[in-house]
Structures are given as structure tokens and as C-alpha cells.
Structure 1
Amino acid sequence: MSLLDNTFNQYSLSPSAAKRLSNKTISVPMMEAITPRWLLTFLPWVSTEAGIYRVNKVTREAKPEVFTNNLEEHNIPHSFPDYDPRPREYTLSIVQTVLKLNGQVTDLFNSPINQKQEQMRLTIEAMREQQEWEIINNSEFGLVASVDPSMKISSRNGSASPDDMDELLTKVWKKPAFFVAHPRSIAAFGRECTRRGVPPVAINLYGSPFLTWRGVPILPCDKLEIDKNTGTTNILLMRVGEREQGVIGLHQQGLPGECHIPSLSVHFGGIDSMGIASYIMTLYFGAAVLTDDSLGMLENVDVGRYHDYD
């Protein structure tokens, strides 16, 4: 071996040293709490003019009264619909937070990831998750609380069965759009269908597979809560859209400071003496059930005790 070979061996660059001198490819921050939020995607959204949506309803159906004109021997129908004198009004609800950013962070540590942009993105994701939860569970306008008593049925034998889902379809029989169920209740329903030899058909929507029943998609949503004590949850079925007199989402487009998505406003709240910048982020939204027969619910669906899957 020559002296030249020994010199090269002595100064050979090790992989560990090379790693310290190389640029790393890094990901944007990952957030496990983000879900597909299919309900927000499938729900038709209606923009309000001033944050209020009024649902006018007919309280007396128009039934023609027929009178006979003896002279001309023609039947002349007379009818008129009566409207609810006190229609329900939905005022947009809000999810609001204040995002605080250290000026040092955005000045010095802003490459290769834009820290302000990523902090806002993650905050918006959290706000949207809360938005979907409120649309389902809010005590005033949430879908679970808005189901008319006549549109509720209870599971026959605990877990959701084809018979239960069929009965729910008899409640919302006029153009049902989709079911909404917790992923664990969908799994339990799938097992029951397979046990009976009628496995549900899967279809592809928005690039993702969905189980269906009688051709109606079943949307997974973890915001339908499971009771920790009983291990039960609910399944929703709805007709949607204004034209179909169904369930709709509410928002208001074109807000001052609107950012990223409709009805989300971001306002700069100033910088304090410590160099902390504040951004007030507000998401306005709501939901309305236009007619009682557009929303049904299967109650007491057993998916197992909470500790079984915690």
C-alpha cells in the first residue's frame, strides 16, 4: 500500500460526518387530530346576507275547496297556504381563537417553513374540526338536537342492523342523501351485514371509498359521540339542500378579512411590548333543518364500551 493510499484512508469522510454537512428534507407539521370532515364536504352551504337565516314554513296545507258554478257548470277550486307567524331564525355561531406569534420566530426561523403560514393552517384545521363537532352536537342548532321526536327510532337488538337502516330509510324516504355514522358503528354494521350474507356495497366518492346501504352512502364521522358508560351512539340520515327542503349548512361569504375559506375572517390584533403579534381568527357558521322529515336518527346503536377501544 502506498503512502498516498494511507493518506486517503486517514481522511475518508464517514457517513455520520456527511449527514451533519447535508441539508435535510423536512415535512410540514403533522397533526393527527385532522379528520376528513366528510359532513362539511357533502353538506350544501347557503350564504346568509347578515348572519341570520329565517326558515319560513307552511302551517296549514293548501287544500282546494271546490265550488260549483250552476250557470256555467264549471268547478272552481279555492285554496291558500297559511304561514307560521313566528318562523325560526338561525343566527350564525362562531368558533374563535387568538393566534399569537413570536416576532423572533417569524423573523429568524422562517425557512424552509413559513411559520406564520403553518401556524395559521394548523389553527384553521382545529377550528374546522370544532365546526363539524358543533354542527352535530350543538344544543341549539346541532343535528342530533334538531331531530324531531317522530323521526327517531331505536335499534332493535343493540347494534345497527339492515332492518334498522331500512326503517330509518322509511323515515327519510324522500330523496335521502347520506347517512352519517361513527366509524365504529359503520364497522359494526358491516359485520352484521356480512353475518347475514348481505355485505354492503362500496362506492368511490371524492377519491375515497364509502360503504352504502340501499345505494345511500354512509359517511364516517368521529364527531358522533359514543357514550362512555353504555358504549352506544347514533346514526343520522338526511335529505339535503334548499330545493329539497332538507338540511343545509350556513355561512356568510365575503367577510372583511376573509381568509382561506368562506366565512373565516382573520384580523391583525397588534404587537405587544414583547414582540408577540396577535391574530384574531373567527369562523362563522350554522346549520338548519328546513323540514322535520329531512332528518332522521337511529338511536342506541351499540359499538362496545369505551374502554374496549380507548
Structure 2
Amino acid sequence: MSDDVEIRRTLSEPAARQLANATKTRAQWSGITPRWLVSFLPWTPVEAGIYRLNRVKEGAVLTDADVQCSPARDRDADLPETFVDYEDAPREYSLNAVTTVLDVQTRVSDLYSHPYDQIQEQLRLLIEKVKEKQENEILNNADYGLFANVDPRQIISTRTGAPTPDDLDELITKVWKEPAFFLAHPRAIAAFGRECTRRGVPPPTVTLFGAQFLTWRGLPLVPSDKLPVDEKGRSKILLLRTGEKRQGVIGLFQPGIPGEVAPSLSVRFMGINRKAIASYLISLYCSTAVLTHDALAVLEGVELDKYHDYKDTYAK
């Protein structure tokens, strides 16, 4: 070998990586959503997990003939006598539990909890999953879900299939006393935006909870992917009035439960079995109540991918 030949060798990148520390992220889950419905609903605390909804009997509302604005000229005339009757068997809502059990092998949590605690990470992700289930139950539960408690008088259908400003205006006529917000699948909101743009009336936006929302008539269109979409690509749009003072829709929860880590959400250690598996019980208690029948209305038959040709409509 010639003396003037220079041999150079460098440390390879794969070998160098063996001594390097990778920066790690927490486990990312695409199933986590903003859960705006839970944020927009007012929540009422209950005792013993029970909420009794007292209502006036249908047809028992006072008429103009029952009340006098001023006494008659004859001071001895009898005043009208009446009363407002209540339902004899008011509905009672019991809090439902959304629960799951976390099992962690103690060897895993002992040895592999740096930089992230394995138990805390598992609890964090399962709590997110429980909260996602909570929003789904608020909408779709067969007992207390919003869709199961819509009065038949408050159900309307779309005029053209695609959600239009006319459809949302019709919803407002059903919930005209201080409506709070629309609730729709993100694809339904996109379809409504397209229809507004086609009419030349693009909906304005508003900032709430640090996020942007489309609005119609000043009411935000709140997205939730928990609204069902059927096999034909059709969904529904809800309009809600909220709060006890407005006789609207409310969420129900019970504060101060054992192991509470958030309102009505508890995490309790259940022990370690003979196979060295530690178990944790995660429970979330909730329900909803529609205080009066006109606090909620639904638009059915919303076709998410249908385009309506307004040029043909106007030509007619």
C-alpha cells in the first residue's frame, strides 16, 4: 500500500443512534374530539342520582278569561277562580354510569414508567374514551338521549334533502323562545355552508371557547361526530334551548362522588390480584333532561353530499 493513500472512516449514523435519546410523545389517539356538546350544555347537580321533572298538565294553562286586568265596576263582583294543575306522575331521571376497568401488569408499570407513567397514561386515554362515550349517550341513549326525547310536534324534514337556510329557519320557529345553538355532524355543517354560499349568503362565524363556529341567525352551528349518519348518507340537525331558567335542555351530574377526579367522574383503585395485575375502576355518571317539549327540535333527512341547483329553481 502506498504511504500517500489516506484511509478515512467515520461513525455510521445507525451506530450513533444507539447512544442518542429519542424525544418521545404521549400516545396520540385520533378518536379524541372537542366534545362541544358537553361544553355548551349547562349542568345541574343532583342529589342521590335522581332528578324529578315536574311539569304542568297539558291543557292546564291559564287562558285570558281566567285573569282580570282590573276589578269590575261593581266592587262586590266575584273574581275569577282558577289554578294550574301539575302532572300526577312526573318523570324521574336517574344518572346512568359509563364505566370501564383498567388492568395494568405491575411489572410493566414498575419497569417502563419513564418518562411517562404507564398507569397515568392508560388512565388518561381511557378517561378520554369514557368522555367520548358520554357525549354519544347524551345524543343516542334510548332512555335519556336527546333524539329519544324529541316531541313528535318538533320534528320536521328538509325541503330539498340538502340542509338550507330555509330549513334552519323552520327549526327556529319550533324553538323560537331563546334558542341557544344548532347541533350537527361536521359534514352536515359543511353541506349547509355550501348551500348558503350557493345562495350568496355565506354564514358568518363567531368565536366561542377559543374556537370558530359558523352561525345562522346569530346561533352557532356546533359540530359533533356522534350524530348518526345512515347508510344513505343522511343525518339530522338539532336546535336546542338550554338552561333551567329558560326551561330548556340540561345535563345532570352528581358532585362529590368517591374517588372524584372531575365532576361526576371517579377513578378508584380496585387492588392487585394474585397474577400481579392492578385494576382501576373508571366511572362517569350523567344524564340529560328536556324540561319542556319545545326546548328541542330536529331536522330529519339531511343529505350530506347532495348539491341543489338553485339556478334551475330560480329559472322556474
Q: CA deviation at 1:182?
A: 0.4
CA distance in 2 between counterparts of 1:97 and 1:105 reads 20
2:200 to 197, 200, 211: 197
CA contact (8 A) 1:181 1:234 kept: yes
Residue in 1 that maps onto 2:244: 242
Residue in 2 that maps onto 1:283: 284
Q: Give the letter aligned to residue 84 of structure 2.
A: P
Residues 265, 196 of structure 1: CA spacing in aligned structure 2 closer, same or farther, 3 A cutoff?
same
2:254 to 252, 255, 260: 252
Q: CA deviation at 1:77?
A: 5.0
Residue in 2 that maps onto 1:302: 303
Q: CA deviation at 1:130?
A: 0.6
CA distance in 2 between counterparts of 1:191 and 1:287 reads 32
1:61 aligns with 2:61: yes
1:219 aligns with 2:222: yes
Residue in 2 that maps onto 1:109: 112
Residue in 2 that maps onto 1:21: 19
* Structure 1 length-normalised TM: 0.91
Q: CA deviation at 1:69?
A: 6.9
Query: What secondary structure is seen at the aligned counterpart in 2 of 1:164?
Result: helix
CA contact (8 A) 2:167 2:299 kept: yes
CA distance in 1 between counterparts of 2:77 and 2:188 reads 59
Query: What secondary structure is seen at the aligned counterpart in 2 of 1:135?
Result: helix
CA distance in 1 between counterparts of 2:268 and 2:24 reads 30
Say which structure is richer in strand.
Answer: 1
CA distance in 1 between counterparts of 2:244 and 2:153 reads 22
2:36 to 38, 41, 62: 38
For structure 2, the 5+ residue unaligned runs are 307-316
Q: Give the letter aligned to residue 253 of structure 1.
A: P
CA distance in 1 between counterparts of 2:74 and 2:61 reads 30
CA deviation profile, 1:69-88 (whole Å, cap 9, x unmatched)? 77636774544221111101
Residues 65, 280 of structure 1: CA spacing in aligned structure 2 closer, same or farther, 3 A cutoff?
same
CA distance in 2 between counterparts of 1:256 and 1:68 reads 59
Q: CA deviation at 1:268?
A: 1.6
Residue in 2 that maps onto 1:266: 267
Equivalent residues in 2 for 1:157-176 (5 A)? 157-176=160-179
Query: What secondary structure is seen at the aligned counterpart in 2 of 1:27?
Result: coil
CA contact (8 A) 1:177 1:216 kept: yes
CA RMSD of aligned residues (A): 2.1
Q: Give the letter aligned to residue 239 of structure 1.
A: R
CA deviation profile, 1:136-163 (whole Å, cap 9, x unmatched)? 0111111011110001100011111110
Residue in 2 that maps onto 1:231: 233
CA contact (8 A) 1:264 1:284 kept: yes
Residue in 2 that maps onto 1:91: 94
Q: CA deviation at 1:216?
A: 0.2
Q: Give the letter aligned to residue 264 of structure 1.
A: L
CA distance in 1 between counterparts of 2:187 and 2:67 reads 53
Query: What secondary structure is seen at the aligned counterpart in 1 of 2:263?
Result: coil
Query: What secondary structure is seen at the aligned counterpart in 2 of 1:21?
Result: coil
CA contact (8 A) 1:267 1:280 kept: yes
Give me the identity figure in percent.
53
Q: Give the letter aligned to residue 89 of structure 2.
A: R
For structure 1, the 5+ residue unaligned runs are 306-310
CA distance in 1 between counterparts of 2:297 and 2:37 reads 15
CA distance in 1 between counterparts of 2:83 and 2:48 reads 31
Query: What secondary structure is seen at the aligned counterpart in 1 of 2:170?
Result: helix
Instruction: Name the count of aligned residue pairs.
Output: 298
CA contact (8 A) 2:163 2:192 kept: yes
